[in-house]
């Protein structure tokens, strides 16, 4: 049985095959690949895109979906996370998607379940399905060959599981990943990746900018007096890109005029909503692979 805890759980060949299915699912039409299956979503952290995309993906494949309302669950009566999951697992679902604030929690469960676990984001560690949909969107944009392309991940990289997953995944497909952040958001150990302070230092070299949200909920201290202060240097605007042919991405949720300006969000180079649509197709392919 295969799980998806980090993108390393899939070989490059498996990802290429996965994307062939995702291309087939891009029209987001319904089929019966997973008829009779039940997927349980366990989101212990808030989500708009990932939770909805998993629900829609599973339903488009003919599966049924249970999304546990964590606020109404017996967690409030003192049940541990492990007991919650053991009890859901005892009901024999066909897959569990799990989002949790604790790094490593989904991975720690794989030896205790009899169905695939899909990591829907664990703390600052990993968000494999986001990185896979980002890779799919980049490859689609560059006609399925992004070898040699340079991707700048901009913003609160240290707290970002999206940055963590993409720095592991994109180089496997020939891309160079660099980071742009104020000192407080840089990695203490960038493990050989280049880090810059201002996007202007490399704007003429990059093919893709991936802007990130400032993850205030994961900070132990206040780094900026206000997000407007941060935005002066890190908001991606029409002035930042000029007339350069750069693909602009963001995993969402976007803090408008902090991460990306209103005008830039309407610019055809910005593919944020394309990422969201692709996220359903890619998750359909992942569910088909793990449950099919
Ligand atoms: N990209 C992402 O994980 O968004 P949500 O938090 O809304 O799921």
Pairing, β 117-122 against β 208-211: unpaired
Averaged pLDDT, 84-106: 96
What distance in Å separates the CA atoms of residue 239 and residue 132, rounded to the nearest whole number? Answer: 29
Contact 135, 169 (CB under 8 A): yes
Q: What is the pLDDT of residue 215?
A: 85
Which of 51, 253, 272, 278, when mutated, tests ligand 1's pocket best, judged by the most ligand atoms within 8 Å of its CB? 253
Of 3.40.50.1370, 3.40.50.11270, 3.10.20.30, 1.10.287.610, which CATH number belongs to 7-127+276-291? Answer: 3.40.50.1370
**Does residue 251 have its Cβ closer than 6 Å to ligand 1?**
yes
Protein residue closest via CA to atom 6 of ligand 1: 47
Closest atom, ligand 1, to C-alpha of 50: 8
Contacts of 85 (CB under 8 A, 6+ apart): 42, 96, 98, 109, 112, 113
211: exposed, middle or buried (C-beta count within 10 Å: 0-12, 13-18, 19+)? Answer: buried
pLDDT at 222 over 90: no
Residue spans of the domains in the chain: they are 7-127+276-291, 128-270
pLDDT band per the 50, 70, 90 thresholds, residue 218: confident
Contact 9, 126 (CB under 8 A): no
Contact 1, 116 (CB under 8 A): yes
**Does residue 49 have its Cβ closer than 6 Å to ligand 1?**
yes
Q: What is the pLDDT of residue 18?
A: 98
Task: Provide DSSP, 11-79.
Answer: -HHHHHHHHHHHHHTTT-----TTTT-EEEEEESS--SHHHHHHHHHHHHTT-EEEEE-GGGSGGGGT-
Lowest mean pLDDT: which of 17-26, 193-202, 217-226, 228-237? 217-226
Task: Provide DSSP, 237-257.
Answer: -HHHHTT---EEE--S---BT
Contact 53, 287 (CB under 8 A): no
Closest atom, ligand 1, to C-alpha of 48: 7
pLDDT band per the 50, 70, 90 thresholds, residue 73: confident
Closest atom, ligand 1, to C-alpha of 252: 1
Contacts of 224 (CB under 8 A, 6+ apart): 214, 230
CA dihedral (82, 84, 85, 90) positive or negative: positive
End-to-end alpha carbon distance in the chain: 11
Is the preceding omega at residue 253 within 30 degrees of 0, hence cis? yes
What distance in Å separates the CA atoms of residue 135 and residue 16, rounded to the nearest whole number? Answer: 11
- Angle at alpha carbon of residue 227, lines to 221 and 229, rounded to 5°: 100
Q: Collapsing DSSP states into helix, strand and coil, what is residue 100?
A: strand
- pLDDT, tens digit, 9 for 90 and up, residues 255-276: 999 999 999 999 999 999 999 9
pLDDT at 216 over 90: no
Is the fold of 7-127+276-291 the same as that of 128-270?
Answer: yes
- Expressed in angstroms and rounded, the spacing between residue 246 Cα and the centre of ligand 1 is 23
Of 3.40.50.1370, 3.30.70.3000, 2.170.270.10, 3.40.50.800, which CATH number belongs to 128-270? Answer: 3.40.50.1370
């Amino acid at each position: 049985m295969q799980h998806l805890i980090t993108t390393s759980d899939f070989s490059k060949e498996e990802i290429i095959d996965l994307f062939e299915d995702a291309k087939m699912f891009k029209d987001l039409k319904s089929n019966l690949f997973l008829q009779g299956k039940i997927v349980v979503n366990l989101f212990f952290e808030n989500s708009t895109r990932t939770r909805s995309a998993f629900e829609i993906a599973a339903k488009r494949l003919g599966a049924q979906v249970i999304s546990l309302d964590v606020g109404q669950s017996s967690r409030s009566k003192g049940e541990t996370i492990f007991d919650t999951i053991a009890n859901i697992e005892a009901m024999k679902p066909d897959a569990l998607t799990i989002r949790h604030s604790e790094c490593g929690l989904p991975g720690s469960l794989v030896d205790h379940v009899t169905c695939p676990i899909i990591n829907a984001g664990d703390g600052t560690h990993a968000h494999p399905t986001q990185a896979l949909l980002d890779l799919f969107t980049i490859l689609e944009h560059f006609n399925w060959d992004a070898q040699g392309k340079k991707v700048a991940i901009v913003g609160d990289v240290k707290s970002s599981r999206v940055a963590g997953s993409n720095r592991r995944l994109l180089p496997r497909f020939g891309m160079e990943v660099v980071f742009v952040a104020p000192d407080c958001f840089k990695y203490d150990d960038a493990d050989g990746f280049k880090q810059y302070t201002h996007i202007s230092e490399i704007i003429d070299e990059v093919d893709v900018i991936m802007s990130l949200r400032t993850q205030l909920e994961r900070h132990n201290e206040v780094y900026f007096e206000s997000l407007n202060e941060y935005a002066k240097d890190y908001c991606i605007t029409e002035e930042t890109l000029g007339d350069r042919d750069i693909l602009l991405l963001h995993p969402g949720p976007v803090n408008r005029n902090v991460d990306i300006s209103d005008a830039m969000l309407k610019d055809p180079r910005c593919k944020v909503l394309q990422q969201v649509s692709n996220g359903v197709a890619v998750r359909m392919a992942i569910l088909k692979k793990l449950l099919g």
